[in-house]
A and B are shown apart, each in its own frame.
Chain A
């Protein structure tokens, strides 16, 4: 029920003490403002980092090889070993939970010197031999031409897909790279596409934009790798944790390559799922911390309101006495005080909320304008969820009621006669 007199009463009481009302409200305002800003900043950090990795298959794992550390079946420790083509079929048939399995060969690396030549231009890039399935684990998008397909791999076509930086270095700006040839370690490959990485997770090192990918089968033949495989990327089926697949794989690999069951060094693997869990945990932690600090600040503000209400009541003891002498019930008195407190808290809180969201919005606009298409931004889209804003508002209302109730209970405990006798200040 809207009671005009109640509101008149509240406003006149607050107006009478402008500075004090303002200072009190500021405490609450600041609390909610900080909560919003901190939470928004935390979310922005999360967005910035997660944007860089989120399209990467989170159920993926990677295998490569290292020297053995335990002598086994007549082999000495320190033996070098490699995967081979026959592993592919065995893994696929024995590990049913596999979704994609993509073998890779590391061709010439950028740190090994300039490996790519086109006319007078030369460059040092990372050359990988991959299957089309690799793009399902680490997604890239074609900016020109196309990505690799099954026929490229099946026919061992001498084609390549290049990163944006490769195009920049090896071609003139107005020159279309598609259909042109690059000489990679002495072998000519036709460029069929220019690609752009969608994530910053980088398998194999170096700059992602300086990558050239050729079909796996082509690389095996052209660079004389025989049936060697350097590296496996894989994903697990939906519902199966990739760590399960990882363990199964290790067991099979050890059997097939004569590696001691207790040798933990020979098989190197990396599981992106655990990294994702770490990140998720980190950001949950940041949000929790934000709330703890935010609620703490808010609490300080609310205690401020309660404190001020106590002073107001002390000052108005006589007034309350008069009101009770002329027939105000305790309920009316409590209603007034609580309404005053809630009004002050909610108004201040709402302004804090609005300004906080406004500032985040401005920050967002500034960030977007600056960032453009640059991907190396670890801070983007600061925002707070609607649920969170609502939660903050309800915390405010509840705290406003409590902040008012404590002094109000004190106010009605004073006998009217004591209140009247009170000389005031």
Chain B
């Protein structure tokens, strides 16, 4: 599905250069459920943005679905994003003056799908996520969990191969977080690759593979079977802290 080969990224602010990613090597296969963890500033959001072609990188190679993504024109990137990637954000990023259904339908608008058709498809997705009766509501009339479900519906509507979620549960309480994770699991079960960034261990523990970032490099990859020991280590960290 995607592979990163020695990817470097630094942010330049004035004369200062901040080297965020210092050579990332990573392979994610179709249908995997991956979480990226790390302390703040470890570069996890940056990595996700590069995966979603929202950000550029200086060195190395990033191949998405077999295509090399480097110095892509904005037009081509937009097409890739629209076709391959669905985004879910911590702050939901719904468009405030459009109702739930219109928000969900938006990616299809950019694909040039007619109004009636895309609203019908949007309704199907809202039903799937149990939000059919909220379709006409504006984002500010929805709860956090509902907003995130609308955002997930929006990311799914263009039938992406991959969902990228940046702290999808960051703004939600525990029970709503678990609901959202259940939804993401269901999506993953349909064969869509899901990659989330989180700093919550219990959320990360629900994924199949945990990538730990530390100071711009991958310090550890924990596979499904090792989760028990991961939990153990996590407890130990808490004790020392």
Are A and B associated in one complex? yes
A252, chain B: closest CB distance, angstroms: 82
B interface residues, tally (CB under 8 Å): 30
The 4 closest A-B pairs by CB, nearest first: A327-B82, A329-B78, A417-B54, A327-B110
Contacts of A313 in B (CB 8 A): none
Give the docked Cα–Cα distance between A329 and B49 (Å). Answer: 17
Tell me whether A415 and B55 are in contact in the complex, defined as CB-CB below 8 angstroms, given that A318-B93, A327-B82, A330-B78 are known contacts: yes
- Is B81 located at the chain interface by the 8 A CB criterion? yes
- Supply 4 further A-B pairs (C-beta < 8 A) apart from A318-B93, A324-B81: A319-B96, A326-B87, A326-B110, A416-B54
Q: Is A174 an interface residue (CB 8 A)?
A: no
User: Is A393 close to B, CB under 8 A?
Assistant: no
For window 74-96 of B, CB contacts with A under 8 Å fall at 74-75, 78-79, 81-83, 86-87, 89, 93-96
| A interface majority secondary structure | helix
Whether a CB of chain B sits under 8 angstroms from the CB of A328 is yes
Contacts A5-B115, A323-B106 given; does A328 touch B93 at CB 8 Å: no
A16 at the interface (CB under 8 A from B): yes
Return 11 A-B CB contacts under 8 Å, by A number. A4-B115, A322-B94, A322-B95, A323-B95, A324-B81, A325-B54, A326-B81, A326-B106, A326-B110, A327-B81, A412-B74
Within 8 A of B (CB), among A255-288: none
Contact, CB under 8 Å: B79 / A327:
yes
Is A420 part of the contact surface with B, judged by Cβ < 8 Å?
Answer: yes
**Structural contact, A415 and B54, CB atoms closer than 8 A:** yes
A16, A319, A322 — most chain B CB neighbours (10 Å): A322
A13 to B97, CA, bound (A): 8
Q: Which residues of B contact A (CB under 8 A)?
A: 49, 52, 54-56, 74-75, 78-79, 81-83, 86-87, 89, 93-98, 106-107, 109-111, 115, 154-155, 158
Q: Is A111 part of the contact surface with B, judged by Cβ < 8 Å?
A: no
| Count of chain A to chain B residue pairs whose CB atoms are closer than 8 Å in the complex | 67
Q: Is A420's CB under 8 angstroms from B54's CB? A: yes
Please, which residues of chain B bring their CB within 8 A of the CB of A331?
Answer: 75
> Chain A contact residues (Cβ within 8 angstroms of B): what range?
20 to 34
Q: Closest residue of chain B to A328, judged by CB?
A: B110
Bound complex: CA A359 to CA B188 (Å): 67
Residue from A13, A327, A330, A416 having most chain B Cβ neighbours under 10 A: A327
Judge if A85 is at the interface, Cβ distance under 8 Å: no
Residues of A within 8 A of B74 (CB): 324, 329-330, 412
Q: Does A202 contact B (CB under 8 A)?
A: no
Contact of A329 with B52 in the complex, beta carbons under 8 Å: no
B18: min CB distance to chain A, Å:
15
Tell me the complex Cα distance, A417–B93, Å: 12
| A240 CB-CB contact with B under 8 Å | no
Given A415-B55, A416-B54, A417-B54, decide whether A327 and B93 contact each other with a Cβ distance below 8 A: no
Q: How far is the CB of B89 from chain A (nearest CB, A)?
A: 7
Q: How far is the CA of A318 from the CA of B97 in the complex (A)?
A: 13
Known pairs A325-B81, A325-B87; A330 contacts B97 (CB<8 A): no
Give B160 Cβ to nearest chain A Cβ, in Å.
Answer: 10
